[in-house]
Amino acid sequence: MLSKMRLGSYSHNLRKILPGIESCGPKGSRYQSAMAAAAAVKEPEGPQMVTEVPGPRSKQLMSELDEMQSMKTIQFFVDYEKSQGNYIVDVDGNKMLDVFTQISSVPLGYNHPALLEAVKGSAMATSLVNRPALGVFPGANWNNSLRDVLMSVAPPGLNNIITMMCGTCSNENAMKLMFMKYAEHLRGGKEFSQADLDSAMQGQMPGIPKMSILSFHGSFHGRSIGCLSVTHSKAIHLVDIPNMGWPVSDFPRYKYPLDQFVRENAVEDSRCLAMVQDKIHQQLKDGCPIAGIIVEPVQAEGGDHHGSAAWFMGLQAICKKHNIRLLIDEVQTGGGATGKMWMHEHFNLPEAPDLVTFSKKMLSGGIYHKEDLRPQHGARIFNTWVGEPSKLIILDAVIKTIKRDNLLAQVTRVGASMTKGMNELQAKYPNIFANFRSLGTFGAFDCSTPEIRDKLTGGMRKEGVHLGVCGETTVRFRPSLTFDEKHLEILMGKLQTVGGKIDS
């Protein structure tokens, strides 16, 4: 299998690969040299730390960058040529097991041979150099790319797609689709009147109807103006930015372990569903009806809160009852990390959601949607590029590798072992590890205080493990799909070591 290809044989074949690389850049170019260097790197046997993080070189680069750009979120600078597999290497030479993977965005780890090979040919060079405006002048192979790549992993029941660049623009345009469909319903299916068109130019009714989107406390859907109106995870995202004032409802907050609080969690599901019903009725009464609901399977930025299958079934039933649309935001959960390509597949919904948005591990962005949500007029959902063909070249290699190496089964298997290991840590150090929840390797746990969480993640970084956080006290696991038992053994061992130090 390609994922187990020996370094020697791959390096031996570099001469076959390099002619293709030359077609993507001039002979002797930095690009060509970087490709060759990345292909020759072997994944470390374990973490290797030589400085603190950020180290001296990272700090120097941060200082230089600050003269040109304010980006205070940067943690460290990375040497991407030396990063390999499930290890990220910073510019100071620290080799860390990466269990955060660029905010859950690296599907197969760093410099995977299949992806390096995928970018070697003329198709990649042509795509990058000519970057087509896909909504107006797509290339001859664009239909094949959509059908053979993105539609090959479409959520069951969704046979239409709109490509986008990122998760934010995917959610923004998916909400527009829901508004457009609801407005069509309000018009009784009729074409726009001249009054509709004229009043729209003035920002007035009837061309600009009063409508809203329902979202949930703890949600995150992006940082554009529209998406901020359905984002409720951190004040820093929202402060100073006017929003639409749309309704917000409660997302379930469960007690763990789930099997010990079945009754209580069922009551919580019912409470939150009843609140959704109330919000729908109130918005109708106020003259600003809800056109759709946007929801994440897991509130990945707001604290990794899960919604149960029963809750999502109930949510879909409410949408059907009131003739509004259900948009499931799979930007972070899609792409295989839960053991299925789409997390909502675990919910066994009676039918497909109306819309599913994606990005991150899918490398591109976009919206899968039902047939009846297709825009009926040109330029309704549009921007200059409407996606990026070069990303589909790489995604094609990702999907083929997932299937060939049976990575969804691996994610499920490793996820089960992860749960077992975390349950043991929770029993031993309940003040440090609590409320572990996961599907596949998409997991998280809570610390008892923000201070303990900071000690834990700081200690793990010193031990050479890079983790992510969310919410107030939550640590989240977002490894690549190639994360296997040897990586898990290192992760669990380091958590045991650092947890023991904090507890002593």
Find out whether 110 and 80 touch, Cβ atoms under 8 Å. yes
Question: Tell me, what's the pLDDT at 230?
Answer: 98
Give the other-Cβ count within 10 Å of 463's Cβ: 18
* Measured torsion, CA atoms of residues 273, 275, 281, 286, in degrees rounded to the nearest 10: -150
Question: Within 353-445, where are the H helices?
Answer: 389-404, 407-428
77 is catalytic: no
Task: Give the C-alpha separation, 493 to 411, whole Å.
Answer: 19
Q: 243-252 burial, b if ≥16 CB within 10 A, otherwise e?
A: eeebbbbbbb
Predicted confidence at residue 265, as pLDDT, reads 98
pLDDT the model gives residue 36? 63
* Residue of 66, 384, 403, 454 marked active site: 384
Q: Which CATH number is associated with domain 136-401?
A: 3.40.640.10
User: In angstroms, rounded to a whole number, what is the distance separating the alpha carbons of residues 31 and 24?
Assistant: 8
Q: Where are the domains of the chain?
A: 136-401, 409-503
Q: How far apart are the first and last CA of the chain?
A: 45
| Residue 384 known to be catalytic | yes
pLDDT tens string, the chain, 504 residues long: the values are 333 333 333 333 433 333 343 444 444 555 566 666 666 678 999 999 999 999 999 999 999 999 999 999 999 999 999 999 999 999 999 999 999 999 999 999 999 999 999 999 999 999 999 999 999 999 999 999 999 999 999 999 999 999 999 999 999 999 999 999 999 999 999 999 999 999 999 999 999 999 999 999 999 999 999 999 999 999 999 999 999 999 999 999 999 999 999 999 999 999 999 999 999 999 999 999 999 999 999 999 999 999 999 999 999 999 999 999 999 999 999 999 999 999 999 999 999 999 999 999 999 999 999 999 999 999 999 999 999 999 999 999 999 999 999 999 999 999 999 999 999 999 999 999 999 999 999 999 999 999 999 999 999 999 999 999 999 999 999 999 999 999 999 999 999 999 999 998
* CA gap 222, 238 in Å, rounded: 11
- Give DSSP secondary structure letters for 319-339: HHHHT-EEEEE-TTT-SSTTS
Contacts of range 152-158, beta carbons closer than 8 Å, 24 or more positions apart = 152/399, 153/341, 153/399, 154/368, 155/341, 155/342, 155/344, 155/345, 155/352, 155/353, 155/356, 155/368, 156/345, 156/352, 157/351, 157/352, 157/370, 158/352, 158/353, 158/355, 158/356, 158/368, 158/369, 158/370
Looking at residue 19, its pLDDT comes to 39
Give me the catalytic one of 82, 120, 360, 370: 360
Domain topology for 409-503: Aspartate Aminotransferase, domain 1 (3.90.1150)
Q: Mention every residue, 6+ apart, whose C-beta is less than 8 A from residue 240.
A: none
Q: Check 92, 98, 269, 329 and give the catalytic one.
A: 329
Catalytic residue chosen out of the listed positions 100, 220, 436, 445: 220
Tell me if the bond preceding 56 is cis, omega within 30° of 0. Answer: no
pLDDT for the residue numbered 6: 35
The predicted structure's pLDDT at residue 18: 37
477 is catalytic: no
Would you state the pLDDT for residue 408? 98
Distances 211 to 26, 149, 178, 244, 358 between C-alpha atoms, Å: 53, 35, 10, 10, 24
Name the one residue in this structure whose structure tokens are 């044989």.
Answer: 9
The H-assigned helical ranges of 137-261 are: 142-145, 167-186, 194-201, 225-228, 235-238
Q: Is the pTM of this model over 0.85?
A: yes
- Under a CB-based contact definition with an 8 Å cutoff, are residues 478 and 103 in contact? yes
